[in-house]
Amino acid sequence: MYADIDRTSTWFKYKDSLCSDCMASCCTMPVEVRLTDLIRIGVVDEFETGEPPKNIAKRLTKQGVIEHFNFKRELFTLARRANGDCHYLDKHTRRCTIYERRPDTCRNHPRIGPRPGYCAYRKKTTS
């Protein structure tokens, strides 16, 4: 039982119980964040908010925290591992390591996103 993350028509109607045995497919999608999210995560200090966002983006790109910065919308895209996983996803438990501090994009998924109310559920495989 799984959805193809690139084909939203295969996604499942979301219900809380799906997360308990999911591979965290949503944590492989690009995550756009704002400066407030980066402060909450702890990679930007509140004192840096007076600095131009492009300077912050340059530093975070160099550190491997973000992979892209949209200058016009002032949105940062979090970097992902080579396999597509979010850097904050534990590779063994498949759970978010910053869950209490996670970005608004993650907090609002799947209410908003590519297919609101649906998720790219993929059942965990047992090894």
**Sheet arrangement for strand 32-33:** 32-33, 75-78, 66-70
| 10, 13, 15, 20 alpha-carbon torsion, rounded to 10° | -10
For residue 83, what are the contacts with CB-CB under 8 A and spacing of at least 6?
28
The pTM of the whole model exceeds 0.85: yes
Q: What is the pLDDT of residue 1?
A: 66
Q: What is the pLDDT of residue 2?
A: 83
Average pLDDT for residues 66-94, to the nearest whole number?
96
Summarize pLDDT for 6-59 with one digit per residue, the tens: 999 999 999 988 988 999 999 999 999 999 999 999 999 999 999 999 999 999
Tell which residue, 103, 100, 101, has the closest CA to residue 29: 103
Read off the tokens for 99.
């869950």
pLDDT at 127 over 70: no
